[in-house]
Chain A
């Protein structure tokens, strides 16, 4: 709009806003709003359906015509779902795995990123090259031999293969993100600290890290999302039901309850559980959506 305004001015049009043009502009805007708004609603629809169904009772589940808002909201579904499988245990497991992995990833990725950005050492270019090379390597190529390695080390059926990779800074894109950010910090800050006798670790811990909160936020968010949603790794590595995460547990729950897939009688409970798994992610997303968007724009990688 601004651009076309400008164009009209340049062309020296005196009647810049003739009636026809105003009408066309308004019509265009209405059309645009309709398309974008409709599309956005369409994208949100599946999640709304999930929540709506989670609040229905078993006998009104498949009543037609379809009701968006149930006549009575059955909040007790959530309690029932919570109690119908070891939800609190799996929630605890998931939180522990997610948080430990996230901590490790933030600490060790930022350390490696700091070294690559700020410190001089002969292997730096070599390491950076290796880092870039692993960024391009898709993980599904190596998940079978990775399993064999963890199996050989005796860590199958423990949380180690789910947590340790975070501490070993496996997410190359995270290191890259930290490196790129640290390079933008002014070097004078560290030089001043070095003159005052700070060690490289002191420079990292006291100066670089406190300034890099946005990147820490982005990395933590993406680690959180990735681990919270991950299914295949816990499925492969965890054998004991006590160790399961929410995702694995939920699927086992489905095995036990769904004899016949179409016409599942417990769909409202499934949707309640699914909602409970999705809601923490949604809350974090709503609170920190600026970081999400920044993160995607910085790395283009998710999960």
Chain B
């Protein structure tokens, strides 16, 4: 007994991490092995970047030589002098304010219609959903072709069939860049639609039956039953779509970069925030500056998510 007692502190620590009984300790050991890859990944690719980025944002470093400590210079410059930063915020905010509300309404409308026992509903659901699984360069290419001002099918349709006088300069005029991007975004609304469809299917039918007995018309049923019952899904989509607005990068890179060397589009009209971040880091090689931009982005997304939770999350109805 004496001998065992001597190692009591060690054992206390060990049992803290590995559990008390021998069998439990074995299980805990296995559990640590199971979660080890994730833990390494978490430290290397989640915590690591945060530390690196926090440190680097106080340095000036152009990708070679040794970084120079500049204190808050990067942040100061971004917040007071950087016009492109403001432009990037403006572009992203405009994109979000266009795509998030329209996206939610459109996804809801499609889901609502698909929820009416129609014939061939599975096929139609797939047709709406397919665009959101095909993304990347090939699809950016496809849009480049469709939106071509002179020979694109969309302008052919608008001028030859509908009778518009002048073709619309979709991607070459600063005025039309944002509607073009909004259109591409709304094309990929399928995953939101499927989430809402699942939510709609989860609403018990008895609620509607009870409402009908009480003489509620369809508009009242929509307002008093469907939307409150669906509010968790709607809220979730709001969060996802808001965050996604800050993610636009591939499409402007593919569409604008090779032609002009300027992925930000005509007159910076497609200078999305992540694109500006990418450009600072990998085109202009301002690594410290890009890290500072990343931190600011992180704060913006956090604040937006908190606002979403406070402003709308409270009204979300969760069934117990």
Give the chain B neighbours of A87 by CB distance below 8 A.
none
Give the chain B neighbours of A64 by CB distance below 8 A.
156, 160
Task: For A278, give its contact among B134, B194, B297 (CB under 8 Å).
Answer: B134
Bound-state Cα–Cα, A79 to B126, Å? 30
In the bound complex, do residue A137 and residue B195 qualify as a contact, i.e. CB atoms below 8 Å apart?
no
Give the chain B neighbours of A254 by CB distance below 8 A.
141, 254, 258
Determine whether A112 belongs to the interface, using a CB cutoff of 8 Å to chain B.
yes
Give the chain A neighbours of B212 by CB distance below 8 A.
3-4, 6-7, 10
Question: Which A residues, 272 to 303, have Cβ-Cβ distances below 8 Å to chain B?
Answer: 273-275, 277-278, 281-282, 285-286, 289, 292-293, 296-297, 300-303
Give the chain B neighbours of A281 by CB distance below 8 A.
133-134
Determine whether A1 belongs to the interface, using a CB cutoff of 8 Å to chain B.
yes
Determine whether A91 belongs to the interface, using a CB cutoff of 8 Å to chain B.
no
In the bound complex, do residue A36 and residue B38 qualify as a contact, i.e. CB atoms below 8 Å apart?
no
Bound-state Cα–Cα, A282 to B128, Å? 13
In the bound complex, do residue B258 and residue A251 qualify as a contact, i.e. CB atoms below 8 Å apart?
yes
Interface size class of A (residues with CB under 8 A): 35 or more
In the bound complex, do residue B37 and residue A285 qualify as a contact, i.e. CB atoms below 8 Å apart?
no
B33 CB, min distance to chain A CBs, angstroms:
8
Determine whether A214 belongs to the interface, using a CB cutoff of 8 Å to chain B.
no
Interface of B is mostly: helix
Determine whether B17 belongs to the interface, using a CB cutoff of 8 Å to chain A.
yes
Task: For B129, give its contact among A10, A251, A293 (CB under 8 Å).
Answer: A293
In the bound complex, do residue A250 and residue B250 qualify as a contact, i.e. CB atoms below 8 Å apart?
no
In the bound complex, do residue B130 and residue A122 qualify as a contact, i.e. CB atoms below 8 Å apart?
no
Determine whether B253 belongs to the interface, using a CB cutoff of 8 Å to chain A.
yes
Task: For B37, give its contact among A112, A122, A262 (CB under 8 Å).
Answer: A112
Determine whether B24 belongs to the interface, using a CB cutoff of 8 Å to chain A.
yes
Determine whether A211 belongs to the interface, using a CB cutoff of 8 Å to chain B.
no
In the bound complex, do residue B18 and residue A263 qualify as a contact, i.e. CB atoms below 8 Å apart?
no
Determine whether A98 belongs to the interface, using a CB cutoff of 8 Å to chain B.
no
In the bound complex, do residue B254 and residue A251 qualify as a contact, i.e. CB atoms below 8 Å apart?
yes
Question: Which B residues, 49 to 69, have Cβ-Cβ distances below 8 Å to chain A?
Answer: 49-50, 52-53, 56
Give the chain B neighbours of A127 by CB distance below 8 A.
35, 38-39
Determine whether B317 belongs to the interface, using a CB cutoff of 8 Å to chain A.
no
Interface centre among B24, B135, B198, B274 (most CB of A within 10 A): B135
A267 CB, min distance to chain B CBs, angstroms:
6
Interface size class of B (residues with CB under 8 A): 35 or more
In the bound complex, do residue A168 and residue B40 qualify as a contact, i.e. CB atoms below 8 Å apart?
yes
Chain B 167-196 near chain A by CB (<8 Å), digits 1 or 0: 000001000000000000001001100110
A250 touching B129 in the complex, CB below 8 Å, given contacts A64-B160, A300-B240: no
In the bound complex, do residue A201 and residue B30 qualify as a contact, i.e. CB atoms below 8 Å apart?
yes
Determine whether B151 belongs to the interface, using a CB cutoff of 8 Å to chain A.
yes
In the bound complex, do residue B18 and residue A144 qualify as a contact, i.e. CB atoms below 8 Å apart?
no
Task: For A146, give its contact among B28, B49, B151, B213 (CB under 8 Å).
Answer: B49
Bound-state Cα–Cα, A168 to B258, Å? 34
In the bound complex, do residue A247 and residue B137 qualify as a contact, i.e. CB atoms below 8 Å apart?
yes
A172 CB, min distance to chain B CBs, angstroms:
9
In the bound complex, do residue B134 and residue A124 qualify as a contact, i.e. CB atoms below 8 Å apart?
no
A215 CB, min distance to chain B CBs, angstroms:
16
Segment from B1-9, B70-78, B95-103, B117-125 that makes contact with A: B117-125
Give the chain B neighbours of A175 by CB distance below 8 A.
38
Task: For B153, give its contact among A49, A124, A168 (CB under 8 Å).
Answer: A49
A–B pairs, 25, beta carbons within 8 Å:
A6-B209, A10-B213, A33-B118, A36-B110, A39-B113, A40-B127, A43-B131, A46-B142, A136-B305, A145-B291, A149-B49, A170-B46, A200-B30, A201-B30, A229-B134, A231-B137, A250-B137, A262-B149, A274-B137, A278-B138, A282-B134, A289-B126, A292-B133, A300-B236, A302-B191
Q: Point out residues on B near A: beta carbons under 8 Å.
A: 16-19, 24, 26-28, 30-32, 34-35, 37-42, 44-46, 48-50, 52-53, 56, 110, 113-114, 116-118, 123-139, 141-146, 148-151, 153, 156-157, 160, 172, 187, 190-191, 194-195, 198, 205, 208-209, 212-213, 236-237, 240, 243, 246-247, 249-250, 253-254, 258-259, 274, 277-278, 281-282, 287, 290-291, 294-295, 297-298, 301, 305
Q: Point out residues on A near B: beta carbons under 8 Å.
A: 1-4, 6-7, 10, 32-33, 35-37, 39-41, 43-44, 46-47, 49-50, 53, 61-62, 64-66, 108-109, 111-112, 114-116, 119-124, 127, 130-131, 134, 136-138, 140-149, 165, 167-170, 175, 199-201, 204, 225, 228-232, 235-236, 246-248, 250-251, 254-255, 258, 261-264, 267, 270-271, 273-275, 277-278, 281-282, 285-286, 289, 292-293, 296-297, 300-303
